[in-house]
Chains A and B, each alone.
Chain A
Amino acid sequence: MKKVLNRHQLSALFGFCLVVTFLFSPSLYAQDDAASDQAAAAEATAAGEEGPCGPGDPDKGKQLFNQNCAACHALNRKMTGPALANVASRLIEEEGLDCEWIYAWIKNSSGMIASGDAYANRIYEEYNQAAMTAFPTLSDQDINDILAYTEATPPAPAAPAAAAAGAQTDAGASGGVSNELILGALAMVFALLVMMLILVNRTLRRIAEANGVVLEREKAEKGLPLWKAFAQNQFLVLVSVIFLMLGAAYFAYGWMMQVGVDQGYAPIQPIHYSHKIHAGDNKIDCNYCHSSARVSKHSGIPSLNVCMNCHKSIYEYKGNPEGPSAEDLAMGYTNEFYTNEIKKLYKAVGWDEENQQYTGETQPVEWVRIHNLPDFAYFNHAQHVTVGKIECQTCHGPVEEMEIMYQYSPLTMGWCINCHRETDVQMEGNDYYEKIHAELAKKYGVEKVTAAQMGGLECGKCHY
């Protein structure tokens, strides 16, 4: 009878676990549903659109637009060139131009300007005489597609976008399975296990009682208490003291060795720059911004004009395709947040968004330096990046996953030395090493030569 009771308890537990699982799982799909619904809706409105210059496929148009136009044009915003939402109908209705004009302009704008076309010259002057790239390869149909795309987008996308963002926020809040939730669940499982054990124990006792088994209770020992016995055994005391002292010394040494080691140092920066978004989501090569790492001892913090190469057109953060995760949202990393950080860049570099020009009022950004080598240690990026062909991540860690940049490696001398001992020199295809390699390989009888064998452990190579 009582065993039945026991089984019942176990099944109840199982059921509880199931409930927990269900609680979390639907929300995982909710977001996908919302996204696909939205996409479907957009498709529904766009399909079958008749462009002003003939039928076009807005989907294909969007692709073409992003490939060819987006560097200088946005739909609802002046950039290097004018905003392009409804451009065709606007030109036809307001300026009295025709589609042929549009085709001609796109295929050869400078020719149009040279030919003295009034509107062409006007627009050329208006946009600081920035000549538009000619696209002779675009067919009329391609242009129609693009125009269809520009027509299809509602002129003011603010409301739907906000709604979408809202939806995303909702979804994210309930959906993302953060570590904390998992930990919570685990804790609950653990608590249940403990409860189960207690229950099992009690049950077994009851069974024992029922079966008449007499458990041997701890016999009250009349001997010395344990600590007194310990205190009387001098040898044991001595050994334990030695062990304690050794242990203390070990930890004291460990603690002291971390003085001045700033591993994990992640200061708050004046602009919240996310390596995760740039290097991770957008897969920008490290060397694009830190270009001097290839030639100089410094990797170089990019000057703000490098930022502006992209951020002239990327003026707002639209989020990654999945939308911000729950953790991001918990930290406050919303799209608006990131867009605000871009505004900080504009302020620092003196970029007037309205007029798309530099004001000349600059404010250099005072980044907090994270990797601080002492002055007496010489480190050269070019040696490691260009010659050694070492991945940036080897020392800097998974930068592409770092929302906030931190010091990944200890940057201690031991760490440097260790790597020099273990790393083979990249000799292939480098004429500098050809002769040395042959000789060294002969000397050490190995095919590969480590940096240490090349003299990479000598004091003066880094300290001068």
Chain B
Amino acid sequence: MASNKKYWKSEAELSPNDSIVEALKQNEFPEEIPVDEFLGDKQQLASAQTSRRDFLKYVGFSTAAASLAACEGPVHKSIPYVFQPERIIPGVANYYATTIADGFDFASILVKTRESRPIKIERNKEARVMGGTNARIQASVLSLYDSTRMQGPTAKGEPVEWDALDAGVKSKLAGLRGTGRQIALLTQTYASPSAKRLISRFAEAYENVTHVVYDAVSDDAALNAFEARYGERALADYDLSKAELIVSFGADFLGDWQGGGYDSGYSKGRVPQNGKMSRHVQFEANMSLTGANADQRIPLTPARQKVALAHLYARLNGSAAGGELPEKATRALEAVVSQIGKAPGKAVVLCGLDDPDAQAVVLAINEMLGSQAFDVAAPRYVRQGNARKLSQLVADMNAGKVGALIMDGVNPAYSLPNAGEFIEGLSKVDISVAFSTNQNETTQHTTFAGAANHYLESWGDAEFKKGHYSLMQPVIRELFDTRQFQQCLLNWMDAETTYYDFIRETWGESILGGAEWSQALHDGVYTSAAPEADPKMPAGPADKETGSASEAAGQVSVAAAVRRLAGAADAGMSLVMYPKVGMGDGRQAGNPWLQEFPDPITRVSWDNYITISKKDASDLGLVNTHVANGGMDGSYVDLDVNGVTLNRVPVIIQPGQAEGTVGLSFGYGRAVGMKKEMQTGVNAFPLYQDFNAIQSVALKKADGMHEFACVQLHKTLMGRGDIIKETTLEDFNTLEAAEWNPVPQVSLDHQEVPATTVDLWDSFDRSIGHHFNMSIDLNACTGCGACVIACSAENNVPVVGKEEIRRSRDMHWLRIDRYYSSEETFEADNLKKDGFSGAFESKSGFEEMEDPAANPQVAFQPVMCQHCNHAPCETVCPVAATVHSRQGHNHMAYNRCVGTRYCANNCPYKVRRFNWFLYSDNDEFDFHMNNDLGKMVLNPDVNVRSRGVMEKCSWCIQMTQKAILDAKREGREVRDEEFQTACSNACSSGAIVFGDVNNPESEVARLKESERMYHLLEHVGTKPNVFYHVKVRNTNEA
């Protein structure tokens, strides 16, 4: 049955009389060009100094000057290499496999280099573990070219030579020998076998060395629980492709939960195959990316989530647990339990609560179920932070027990909740060195700031998961006088070796086991051939003999944990802090791509904010309003968490936010070592007490309104209606496709006929050669946004800044629309309405129905140029700057465009972007395209557009052209997987597939035959070459 749900992007759209929504529907460019400002005022015009004669003189002179200047062409220099490196051919890209392991993001990646400049990050498709990329990893290449990077080491802010730094540190370290004071290493998580070995060697060379690992956004509770149960400080790994039921308690596993990277496995199970797909139930407070993808999402406060988890354990265990739950949650739990009962091994439970009890119970449940998706034999090492050791270190520092503090990849002065204490302690340390690519809050207080290499300039390795290794190699020589931390440690140990040799040694001794180093380096990944241990009996302290005893002890403690969980209660309002999809823990806050990346859920860029439910907002008198140009304003609140206050935090009213909770993201509010424009938002870390993301908070409304750069009301489809199609798994399995995926009907000769059969135009014959199509599966798309950044990187999409985004002038060629819809269909409401008895019931019942925003369903839809075969933009261009190709591309010739913007007006999908300004070489746009360093990231195969021209998705024609040319040169046919675009390449969940439909063997041709296939706004008759797959929700309960 076709879904007749109503979709909306902003709550404002639910109000029938919102004039701004109406205006935005009618007007793509809501802001008038301010002609009146300078021509409207007759009086001012008359009294102006410039007479008409003068004006004509200026015009004449400038025209003449411009034409004279044009007569003489500029002289271009071409400077070849003196000695050309063997592997570099100008104009041909080289790819290197490397690894990002910056302490927050871990992945095996490929780096595309042109003339030895890294310009693009790609997935390493050969990696079996963590080979996907997210928005931050995609954007990390731009951080390499950050013009605010440290260009050499500094001492108290003054530039210093490395030799001086080395000498200073070495003499100090030597002086600490025998004093009994600590040498402390405070580092990020490396998950690196070589770094681990190096640090132990360093500890041998000097006495009293302590190594504290610190994750800004900590998984300490989960690590402790795992360590207690399995004897190793690691995290359980989950293969979600093997799960038929995923139950998550506050775990944002499509975001950054426990290191992230779960989206590809998840998406595999989400595409209906043979009538089956996984079912995902999410209990959470904030509307997270994961909750947005869930089949059923129950908004609960953190305490209630704990209770629900206790209930689940009890039900599975056959016992009972106390604690009250809302009816909806109980029903959901019942359904979950009954489905688990059918296939316990196919279910998995995940938990993102920073609570050791909750984490212990989840491990117990998964073990009890014998979940196939649950892997503790080869656990993950990507989070190692130890909160206890860290607080010990801060205490030791303040007690004067620490002689030297060496930091790498951490910024505790920014990200520690007790940063003040830390800074005070730092002053009692004799010598402190912080390694960082940029100056930051911590380097301001240290003796030395070590200018560190970017990871693309470094050697390294990582063991993401037991037995799964990845190698990091430099793809460019250090741009500045920088050094990586590991090399400095080696220097300070007087080891006459490079870190590269050290890694080779480590690998040769303990990892490779006879395999080729160069092969491992080439692949970037290496999986040790060690036999997999019995997955349910991991190595740990629990030996065979004592197994039963410790198991019994474990059960006792789990039972206690369940009791504690069941007794959990909220104390007032709960604050749930989370890392934002675009910003993570804030280490890349200086990256303009990430700042401009709209959050997948709120669609807000350049900010963090409090998310609050509608009810709580109205109780506190907080509002979101829209202004005429489509921008959004929000109230401010003051926060108070156990006496720590945060003032004037802007508020977003978030549909689906659990009542009694508010959300706030980490990573913002940084101010040191970055450009003015990037210093956005507020710092949530001071509220992150005891490394617990859940805090009790008091809110108070503050004065004023905050101006957001929110794109959710931009680019509306002018009232053309819904472009999302969705159905339920049950309908999908039982009904004909025409029921749940109907082709729109249009009237032809007063007869209703399918829109696809009517054609106003003569169609061009595209049967010869390539004909490109793109498939986007709404079931597989998680909305992560990696494609958005990949597109910006590949196509030199400019960053426009907060002000311009607010004016609806964002330049992203690819946007991911987020639609809300009410959970129940209107038919359910109708039934309910008809069933009302009595005035009182009907009043409360209607009020219930009136709030569709309480817990909406969410759908993500990536929209780029649809490359219509009958493109409306082409017919209105007065200069034929946009025309069609026989390969299916809708071409845009920038040099031909005169900027009338007719095409954008006529585009039903609103995918065209206008260059309102010159964004490159313009200091008004102080991002990356105005300096030589930042410009190094530009793709030399794609134009940098100038002011006044229209641009849009080109389907990465430079990539298809290259694939074709490679085939021609080698005299062979193009292989299907060679046709890619930046977005399809970046998509680790397989939602975006690109290819040639004239090749019947291609993946995209197969997908086009799917029953779920539909085109956007089919009734308009544009015949797009991009097609979508109907979203199927597994609402079948049990």
A375 at interface by CB-CB < 8 Å: yes
User: Residue on A with the closest CB to B954?
Assistant: A464
Known A259-B71, A292-B91, A432-B971: A463·B891 in contact at CB below 8 Å: yes
Taking a contact as CB atoms closer than 8 A, the residue among B78, B942, B954, B964 that contacts A368 in the complex is B78
Chain A: interface residue total (CB-CB under 8 A): 56
In Å, the complex CA distance between A296 and B67 comes to: 35
Known A460-B885, A460-B957: A295·B969 in contact at CB below 8 Å: yes
A297 at interface by CB-CB < 8 Å: yes
User: Residue on B with the closest CB to A367?
Assistant: B78
In Å, the complex CA distance between A305 and B886 comes to: 44
A247 at interface by CB-CB < 8 Å: no
Contacts of A306 in B (CB 8 A): 84
In Å, the complex CA distance between A292 and B79 comes to: 15
Contacts of A380 in B (CB 8 A): 965
A436 at interface by CB-CB < 8 Å: yes
- Per-residue CB contact flags for chain A residues 448-463 toward chain B (1 = under 8 Å, else 0) read 0000001100111101
> Which of A95-103, A226-234, A382-390 binds B?
A382-390
In Å, the complex CA distance between A305 and B974 comes to: 35
- Per-residue CB contact flags for chain B residues 954-981 toward chain A (1 = under 8 Å, else 0) read 1001100100110111011110000000
In Å, the complex CA distance between A300 and B90 comes to: 7
Contacts of B71 in A (CB 8 A): 259
In Å, the complex CA distance between A440 and B91 comes to: 31
Contacts of B967 in A (CB 8 A): 432
Contact A459 B971 (CB under 8 A): no
- Per-residue CB contact flags for chain B residues 706-737 toward chain A (1 = under 8 Å, else 0) read 00000000000000000000000000000000
Contacts of A454 in B (CB 8 A): 769
- Per-residue CB contact flags for chain B residues 64-102 toward chain A (1 = under 8 Å, else 0) read 000100110101111111111000011110000000000
Contact A303 B83 (CB under 8 A): yes
Contact A304 B83 (CB under 8 A): yes
A36 at interface by CB-CB < 8 Å: no
A378 at interface by CB-CB < 8 Å: yes
Taking a contact as CB atoms closer than 8 A, the residue among A366, A368, A372, A443 that contacts B768 in the complex is A443
A392 at interface by CB-CB < 8 Å: no
User: Residue on B with the closest CB to A425?
Assistant: B968
Taking a contact as CB atoms closer than 8 A, the residue among B83, B89, B767 that contacts A295 in the complex is B89
Contact B79 A366 (CB under 8 A): yes
Contact A461 B961 (CB under 8 A): yes
A364 at interface by CB-CB < 8 Å: yes
B895 at interface by CB-CB < 8 Å: yes
In Å, the complex CA distance between A301 and B76 comes to: 14
In Å, the complex CA distance between A160 and B1005 comes to: 78
In Å, the complex CA distance between A458 and B769 comes to: 14
Contact B944 A349 (CB under 8 A): no
B368 at interface by CB-CB < 8 Å: no
Contacts of B76 in A (CB 8 A): 368-369, 372
In Å, the complex CA distance between A376 and B944 comes to: 8
A327 at interface by CB-CB < 8 Å: no
Query: Which chain A residues in 356-382 approach chain B with CB under 8 Å?
Result: 362-369, 372, 374-378, 380, 382
Q: How far is the CB of B943 from chain A (nearest CB, A)?
A: 5
- Per-residue CB contact flags for chain B residues 919-961 toward chain A (1 = under 8 Å, else 0) read 0000000000000000000000111100000000010011001
User: Residue on A with the closest CB to B80?
Assistant: A301
Contact B70 A295 (CB under 8 A): no
Contact A362 B82 (CB under 8 A): yes
Contact A292 B891 (CB under 8 A): no
Contact B943 A464 (CB under 8 A): yes
In Å, the complex CA distance between A300 and B91 comes to: 9
Contact A364 B971 (CB under 8 A): no
Report, as a range, how many residues of chain B touch the other chain: 35 or more
Main secondary structure on B side of the interface with A = loop
In Å, the complex CA distance between A440 and B886 comes to: 13
Contacts of B974 in A (CB 8 A): 432
A129 at interface by CB-CB < 8 Å: no
Contact A376 B943 (CB under 8 A): yes
B59 at interface by CB-CB < 8 Å: no
B916 at interface by CB-CB < 8 Å: no
Contacts of B81 in A (CB 8 A): 303-305, 364
A348 at interface by CB-CB < 8 Å: yes
Taking a contact as CB atoms closer than 8 A, the residue among A304, A362, A367, A460 that contacts B889 in the complex is A460
Known A300-B90, A305-B83, A460-B954: A430·B968 in contact at CB below 8 Å: yes
Q: How far is the CB of A364 from chain B (nearest CB, A)?
A: 5
A321 at interface by CB-CB < 8 Å: no
Contact A259 B893 (CB under 8 A): no
User: Residue on B with the closest CB to A270?
Assistant: B77
Q: How far is the CB of A435 from chain B (nearest CB, A)?
A: 8
In Å, the complex CA distance between A301 and B765 comes to: 42
Contacts of B77 in A (CB 8 A): 366-369
Contacts of A369 in B (CB 8 A): 75-78
A401 at interface by CB-CB < 8 Å: no
Contacts of B78 in A (CB 8 A): 301, 366-369
Contact B80 A365 (CB under 8 A): yes
Query: Which chain A residues in 302-359 approach chain B with CB under 8 Å?
Result: 302-306, 348-350
A298 at interface by CB-CB < 8 Å: yes
What are 11 A-B interface contacts by the 8 Å CB criterion?
A259-B67, A295-B969, A301-B78, A367-B79, A376-B894, A378-B958, A380-B965, A382-B965, A431-B972, A432-B974, A464-B892
Which 6 pairs of residues, A with B, have the shortest CB-CB distance? A460-B891, A296-B91, A303-B84, A303-B81, A298-B91, A369-B76
Question: In the complex, given contacts A455-B769, A458-B891, A464-B942, what are 19 additional A-B residue pairs having Cβ atoms less than 8 angstroms apart?
Answer: A292-B89, A295-B92, A296-B89, A300-B80, A300-B91, A301-B80, A366-B78, A367-B80, A368-B76, A383-B968, A386-B969, A430-B971, A431-B972, A431-B973, A432-B967, A433-B968, A439-B769, A458-B885, A460-B954
